[in-house]
Amino acid sequence: MHNAAIHVLGLDAVYVALPTPAPALAAVLGTFAAVGGAGNVTLPHKEAAERCVARKTELCERVGACNTFWTEHGALVGDNTDVAGILAALRQLGVDGGGSWLLIGTGGAARAVAVAASQVKAEVHVLSRDAARAGAFAEWARGRGVRAAPAQGTLDLDIAINATPAGLKDTDPLPLDAESASRLRGRAALDLTYAPGGTRWVRTLRAAGVRAQDGREVLVQQGGAAFQRFFPDQAPPLDVMRAAVQRALGA
């Protein structure tokens, strides 16, 4: 996605994957700062990266997770572009404000969903396999102005959002079964994970008549926002980036 954008704009840069074990994260980020680099952070390092950058945007601080960083005057600046990506993908699904959301998960991606919900004044019901984690996450979210509570009983919801890694493999358990999802008032679901051919959860929900999409549009939109942080004088070529993602993942 990023290399396709770099190529079409004729920029002197390259985007590469850099697998990083948790104990090495601070040192790796420090190296980027030393050489004036920039990049993205994905799971499981988003929350730790937020603590490693020298400066951060208000949104990054509010989410408590960093997925995008760049160098200014020898110091790393952190941001969170997941929020913008999530909101853009939800607009595609027809969920553009308010309502009640079921949020599945309590990690860094879930934090971005909660902050996105606060921006459109949506109510968040948190679902986790660990009830204590759901309660702690809801308390964290309320501290940031989000209307949030642990999910309890039968809920009348507009959308279900999977913010867990479940779904990266077809053998993973479904984040929410099709029968429960079929009772969604808005009959919409967003899976933040993505995989070639779509995730099993999205395929299952679509077969049950639920309007669902995986996280590839979130990927493109947050990537476009990150690209503009990397290259402030360039408009991100979203169509090029989207086409690259589609080629990589298939229909």
Write out the catalytic residue numbers. Answer: 46
Q: State the amino acid at position 96 in one-letter form.
A: D
Distance CA 230, CA 235 (A): 11
Q: Which residues contact 250 (CB under 8 A, 6 or more apart)?
A: 196, 197
Q: At 196, which amino acid appears?
A: P
68 forms beta bridges with 40, 79
Q: Specify the DSSP element, H or E, that contains 105.
A: none
- Identity of the residue numbered 186: G
Which contiguous run of DSSP H or E holds residue 203?
A: helix 200-207
Which tokens sit at 15? 């985007």
CA distances from 210 to 29, 85, 93, 102 (A): 41, 21, 11, 14
Q: Is the CB of residue 81 less than 8 Å from the CB of residue 112?
A: no
Residues 108, 112, 117, 119, CA torsion sign: positive
Q: Are 85 and 40 in contact (CB under 8 A)?
A: no
At residue 192, what is the residue type? Answer: L
CA distance 96 to 21: 37
